[in-house]
Chain A
Amino acid sequence: MLLALVVGCLLCLGTYALSGLWPRSRDAWLLGFGIAAAMVMLGVGSYGIRRRLPGAPLGRAATWLKVHLFGGVLFGVLVLMHSQFRFPAGGMNRVLWVLSLWVTATGLIGLWIQRWIPRAIASGLSDEVLYDRIPELVRSLGQRAETFVASCSDPIQAFYQTNLAAMFAAPQASFVYYADVTGGRHARKKQFEYLSHALGGEERGKLDRLERMYKAKLELDAHLSLQRALRWWLVAHVPFSIVLVVLVVLHVIFVLSY
């Protein structure tokens, strides 16, 4: 995939370099790059339509995504060639140029996020959780923890109120999970260890159980944080892509009209 991408970009850049050998035809070349960029953009954008027609006999979505990724990078390169690798003049052109690079860049960042986060979740978290169910699961876990703690001794109840109650109350997304998918579990265990030494056998068992609940909550928060990133990067990509398509259509109309 990487090789095909490199070859594609080299071909475009080679063509661009050759276009400089015939200065009089340079405008035609630049126009050609612009037309190619617009065509590639429409092809790349049709992936969004494919996603909304899951049952239609349009081929495998995985193939569409590959085309979307290759095409997206190619689009970025073609736009740069169309603008002669310069920041263009004119308000509309500048907006188009910035938007094109923004959409390409956010797409590449999204690709990186989609490669990194699934691996982090699969390797660091023990259970698979549906994103939409996280609030419900946290609520249920919180209720179980409350009920359980009520049956524990005073030191555990006090420990729970001081250190854990707020955490069990609601889902808590945090950037910590991007650095350490476990949320610093090992470091956080220390607080349990100290109390554990002070408790008798039965209460120590209860504290262990509370610790397991705490671990489950950390996992839910990790899922929330990481899966949110998998969803939210699209906010930086899709709306701008739609605006870009509209502006490119207007750009083409203006060029053809004037």
Chain B
Amino acid sequence: MNDDLQEHPTEIRRALLYEDRWASEGGRTGIISLADRPTARALAAMDLFNGIDPPLLEDITQDVSIASWEAGAVLFEEGSYIDLAFFIVEGEVVIHTSQAQNEARLGTPIFDQALVQVSDQAQRPNPAVSTVLESMIVSQTATRAPQPGQAPFLSTIDVDLPDGKAMLLGPGEIFGEIGALNGWPQAVTARAKTRCKLVQIRVPALRRLKDDSPAFKKRIDDVYRERTLLFHLRKLPLLSSCDDRTIQSLAEKVDLVSVRPGKTLVKEGDPADGIYLVRSGCLRLSQKMADGEIAVAYLSKGMVLGDVELLLVQGHSWFSTVTSVGYSELVKMDSDVVSSLLAHSEIEKHFWRSAVDRVKETGYSQRHVDYAELLDFSLNRGLVEGNSILVIDLDRCTRCDDCVRACAETHGGRPRFVREGERYRSHLIARACYHCRDPVCLIGCPTGAIHRAQVGDVVEIQEDICIGCSQCSKKCPYDAIIMQPTGDVWPEDAVPKHLRGKPRSVASKCDLCHTSSTGPACVNSCPQGCAIRVGTMDDFKSMLRPGVEVSP
């Protein structure tokens, strides 16, 4: 089987490997035996769960399984999104990168995933998909400047591999958790070197354990410090003027902070005790206004919190209240650590730039309450997550549905979006894929049918290997993935077996018409020019100001 697999491209290999990838036994998965929902007692006997309260263990058993994998089995591949971490009980696992990709990424000191893809794209042009749209998106993304307050930070790499480009992991090691918890694609391929016994922990259980067990959190954090943190700090432009010894000493001093949705990280007016770098997630910054408070800015992956307080605010008190919108992971540097860093003039300049941008944005929100309202709406509806959101100006839309017809025409008669959705004033946020910066729909796709296309930020579904499990559709927070029946039934040799003879449906979503030379059909076909694609808060801001053209 392995020889066959070597001949197939990645997606096909994924399809061949599929049989409930991490959740059922079978020759194709490489799982020899599987125990779902192990008892709390069985878990307590393992080193990983030592000292964890039995009730907590009882709660998480539904999201834990113990699997025996055969030697040589691929546990996951580089670039895949998975929603579980692996703990090795017995055996050895080797993790490695493909060298070319590794070099391309290691040489890219950036955190923004879109920019990483541009870098890959630039080095591996794909003549088969050379379209006007592609060049447009690539050029737009390549020239995209960091957003206000955004210090490029943290690449998508979650393992800092040594020069040998491979790492051998043995009993007691945990892996995959950084990608799973942060929603990042896996930076490596993991393969069982010997027959292995692995505990597989899904994200809900990982989060519970991190939140409720300090010992488990410490263990996960230690792994991050050991494998990734140093690499991330070295690649941080903020610290580019620091020598390796300074960075190593810094890595020992930072704290890793996790914040649950809705929890307040810092309160306006409280003493500021350091700066935070956002590893993942999204946070709302709000300030008091009259008897209430308004949203003034937001932070997402790669941004810095605390620069304004450090440089501008008398007495170093927090300038805003900061609340986590989703699960957020941050790196915290204490004030004394930051003060020592300010001795480097480059670092100080960097902080000043970022602080000025934040103050500008905050001031703008305070003066324009409609922008604050838009910010709140965007944070609550996840618009800040999107790279390309279909917005329809209802003041001009004649409800002709040419956009929907054009979409259907371009996609074999099945439209990929619905002209319904949330309204913000006179703008409709259509139910179409946002092409999110951290697409949760990619997590857990058993065949890899839903993936990032090699064009800009496009997320697409490869229908021929979609098995209609609806994982992506259920995960999409914006109802933008529709399960559509194809009219066929699964053939008698279909894998997995339980599908055989059943009606076939496939997941369907907007692909930005990325293979078309005319760009998104919905935008191109709108006679009133009221369907536009929006990617940043600045685009939304422009929409609110009459007379400002927003490029589609």
Contact = CB atoms under 8 A, between A and B. Distances in A.
Interface stretch (A27-35, A88-96, A117-125): A117-125
A56 B513 CA distance: 12
Contact of B426 (A61, A123, A130): A123
A64 B527 contact: yes
A62 interface: yes
Contact of B527 (A51, A55, A56): A51
Contact of B423 (A51, A62, A128): A128
A121 B394 contact: yes
Nearest to B394: A122
Interface residues of A, number: 25
A118 B397 CA distance: 6
A54 B397 contact: no
A65 B527 contact: yes
A57 interface: yes
Contacts of A128: 394, 419-421, 423, 428
A54 B529 contact: no
B399 interface: yes
Given A118-B395, A122-B395, A230-B398, A55 B423 contact: no
B404 to A, nearest CB: 9
Chain A contact surface mostly: helix
The winner among A60, A131, A227 for most chain B CB atoms within 10 A is A60
A118 B394 contact: yes
Given A55-B518, A61-B527, A62-B527, A227 B399 contact: yes
Interface in A40-64: 51, 54-57, 60-62, 64
A119 B525 CA distance: 21
B525 A61 contact: yes
A84 interface: no
A154 interface: no
B402 A61 contact: yes
Given A61-B527, A123-B426, A127-B423, A230 B410 contact: no
Interface in B507-539: 516-518, 521, 523-529
A134 to B, nearest CB: 11
Nearest to B421: A128
Interface string B19-36: 000000000000000000
Contact of A55 (B406, B421, B523): B406
B396 interface: yes
Nearest to B516: A55
A114 interface: yes
A230 B397 CA distance: 10
A126 B528 CA distance: 22
Contacts of B420: 128-130
B402 A54 contact: yes
B517 A57 contact: yes
Nearest to B513: A55
Nearest to B396: A118
A54 B526 CA distance: 9
Nearest to B407: A54
A230 B517 CA distance: 31
Nearest to A127: B423
Interface in B404-444: 405-406, 409-410, 419-421, 423, 426, 428
Contacts of A127: 423
Contacts of B409: 54-55
A51 B402 contact: yes
The winner among A114, A117, A122, A227 for most chain B CB atoms within 10 A is A122
A119 B518 CA distance: 29
A140 B188 CA distance: 51
Contacts of B402: 51, 54, 61
Contacts of A126: 423
Given A61-B524, A62-B529, A127-B423, A54 B406 contact: yes
The winner among B428, B527, B529 for most chain A CB atoms within 10 A is B527
A207 B405 CA distance: 42
A114 B517 CA distance: 30
Contacts of A122: 394-395, 426
Contacts of A230: 398-400
B410 A55 contact: yes
Given A54-B409, A130-B420, A230-B398, A60 B529 contact: yes
Nearest to B425: A122
Contact of B398 (A56, A57, A118): A118
B516 A114 contact: no
A131 B404 CA distance: 13
B399 A119 contact: no
A62 B402 CA distance: 11
Contacts of B398: 114, 117-118, 230
A119 B399 CA distance: 12
A65 B528 CA distance: 8
Given A127-B423, A130-B419, A54 B405 contact: yes
Contact of B410 (A51, A54, A123): A54
Interface in A100-149: 114, 117-119, 121-123, 126-131
A61 B395 contact: no
Contacts of B523: 60
A117 B397 CA distance: 9
Nearest to A58: B518
Contacts of B419: 128, 130
B521 A55 contact: yes
Contacts of B397: 118
Contacts of A51: 402, 527
A114 B524 contact: no
Contacts of A130: 419-420
Nearest to B423: A128
Nearest to A110: B398
B529 to A, nearest CB: 4
Nearest to B518: A57
Interface string A68-87: 00000000000000000000
Contacts of B524: 54, 60-61
Contacts of B406: 54-55
B59 to A, nearest CB: 38
Interface of B: 394-400, 402, 405-406, 409-410, 419-421, 423, 426, 428, 516-518, 521, 523-529
Given A55-B516, A55-B518, A130-B419, 12 more contacts: A51-B527, A54-B525, A55-B409, A55-B410, A118-B398, A121-B394, A122-B426, A123-B426, A128-B428, A131-B399, A230-B398, A230-B400
Name the 4 nearest CB pairs between A and B, nearest first: A54-B406, A62-B529, A122-B394, A122-B426
